[in-house]
A and B are shown apart, each in its own frame.
Chain A
Amino acid sequence: MTALLEIEDLALSYGAVPAVDGVSLAIEPGELRVILGANGAGKTTIIKAILGLKRPRRGTIRYDGEHDLAALKPHQIHALGIAWVPEGRQLWHTMTVFDNLRMGAFQSKDHAAVARRIEEMFVRFPRLRERRDQLAGSLSGGEQQMVAIARALVSGPRLLLMDEPSLGLAPIVVRDVFALAREINDMGIAILMVEQNARQALKVADAAYLLETGHIVDQGPADEIARRDSVKAVFLGGAA
């Protein structure tokens, strides 16, 4: 089976400073894989490269075995079925919840399908239906995370990129978020998650990569990684 997403020897820099150097990873359809790393390790940089928001210095990002994402523009990449739950949610605060969701499928021509999916979101997240016409900026952190995830699902993606979904959220909400990720994954949507919260992430993931200052230093099935000393020392000491 061809990997859904295959990254080979990826290198990115900010000006003269290298952020990611020689990263290779892959994810199969329907899998949930996580990239673990501390701040500044380069996790978000990889996500931005996949989304076409940052051009790599070197390396290939192959989707579905045929599309080279490094050569495409972000809106084209979105059309291929890749959606983003950004770090810190990054909703449009001056727009309503409904408009935020609508923007999630901006270029979709199939308005009926989009409307149906938005309705599905409201069914799954009744709280969002209540807040439908409220400005997104007025919602709580947990509610904003729901909107961010719903916004990503509205376009019917095959691959979801989740960037630190637990960041800044209360512990009880964090548990819900990871459970939600598992639920989405069970529906068949592949998830590539980047996280600092190793313990929770490894509970839901199929496999994990360890990223340290731009290099992958370890990788393997989630339960194996969870037992490794390197992970224990670096992450499990402080995570929720």
Chain B
Amino acid sequence: MDLLLQQICNGLVIGSTYAVVALGFALAFSVLRVVHFAHPDIFMVGMFSGLVAANYWPGLGLIIAIAAGAAGAGALGYFAERTIIGPLRGRDILTTLIGTLGLSIVLQNGMALLVGPDPVAYPTLVPARFIDIGPVMLTLRQIVNLGLSALLLVLVSVFVRFTRTGRAARAIAERPDVAAAFGVDVARICQITIVFASTLAGVAAVSVGSLYGSASAFVGLLYGLKAFTCMLVAGNRHIEGVVAVAIGLGIIEALVTGYVSSSMKDAAAFVVLIAVLYVRPNGMFGSYAT
């Protein structure tokens, strides 16, 4: 029973990061109709921005790293949207995938050129301490990660539901032409959406970097595909669905790791994807027509 609870908690931590990354995909896909393959790599750039800042100003620790991560990823998101992602809007889906894939290749290999292809040590932003919560043992880093992810998820929810821009984004997601014809500056909202998603990813990235103590130019590969399947499984109609699925996936993976074997956990995402899409081709919670 203790193992179960422990793994569920571990799964929550992993899942919450999947959720933040998956939301970035979901926002890009619903609002811009673009399969934003480079989103995990913007995440990665955020991770390294935080690393650089933390090394430069070691006294300011986590705060400066998060700020730098947000700024770095957000800025990159802005330029990527202006140059590549924005122009891909309206193209067929596979073209958007390939286009952003090109960007992903450039970012990954560019970073690998700068820091090398191997993982790099992440500065210690959160002390390594263990906390007992009843039968479960978590590290302080895990708790910080969980807290930050939760905060980010709340931010997204608030954005989508309660802000004017968020409403416009939802309007564009459901009916882009009608939204434009009723006064929504679609280009600007798309820009804001990508920058928003990138900034959040940047923050999450710093949190993940500090959690595992390392950063790698290819970390995007780890999160990208799985977060993407979360988006597909959930469907893009309700953004909270993506969060639920992502956390669910994290827990499933943790349970597979605990009870079966850690190397099989990677298959979990894909098995779930195939199973769900076979039964509900539009995703668990439904999608807008593509």
Contact = CB atoms under 8 A, between A and B. Distances in A.
Q: Do chains A and B touch in the complex (CB under 8 A)?
A: yes
A90 B184 contact: no
Contacts of B82: none
B171 A75 contact: no
A18 B26 CA distance: 36
B179 interface: yes
B180 A74 contact: yes
Contacts of B183: 75, 78-79, 105-108, 155
Interface in B237-282: 237
A103 interface: yes
A94 interface: yes
Nearest to A54: B177
B133 interface: no
Given A92-B175, A103-B167, A73 B185 contact: yes
B186 interface: yes
B162 interface: no
Contacts of B174: 92-95
A103 B181 contact: no
A124 to B, nearest CB: 19
B178 interface: yes
Interface residues of A, number: 27
Interface string A198-215: 000000000000000000
B168 interface: yes
A74 B185 CA distance: 8
B57 interface: no
A151 interface: yes
Nearest to B187: A73
A94 B235 CA distance: 14
B182 A104 contact: yes
Per DSSP, chain B at the interface is helix
B175 A90 contact: yes
A147 interface: no
Given A78-B182, A78-B183, A155-B183, A103 B171 contact: yes
A75 B182 CA distance: 6
A74 B181 CA distance: 5
Interface in A158-214: none
A155 B168 CA distance: 16
A99 interface: yes
B237 A94 contact: yes
B170 interface: yes
A73 B178 contact: no
A19 interface: no
A24 to B, nearest CB: 23
Given A94-B170, A95-B170, A99-B167, A106 B184 contact: yes
A51 interface: yes
15 contacts: A53-B180, A53-B181, A73-B180, A73-B185, A78-B182, A78-B183, A86-B178, A90-B175, A92-B170, A92-B171, A93-B174, A103-B182, A103-B184, A106-B171, A106-B179
Interface of B: 167-168, 170-171, 174-175, 177-187, 237
Interface of A: 48, 51-53, 73-75, 77-79, 83-84, 86, 90, 92-95, 99, 103-108, 151, 155
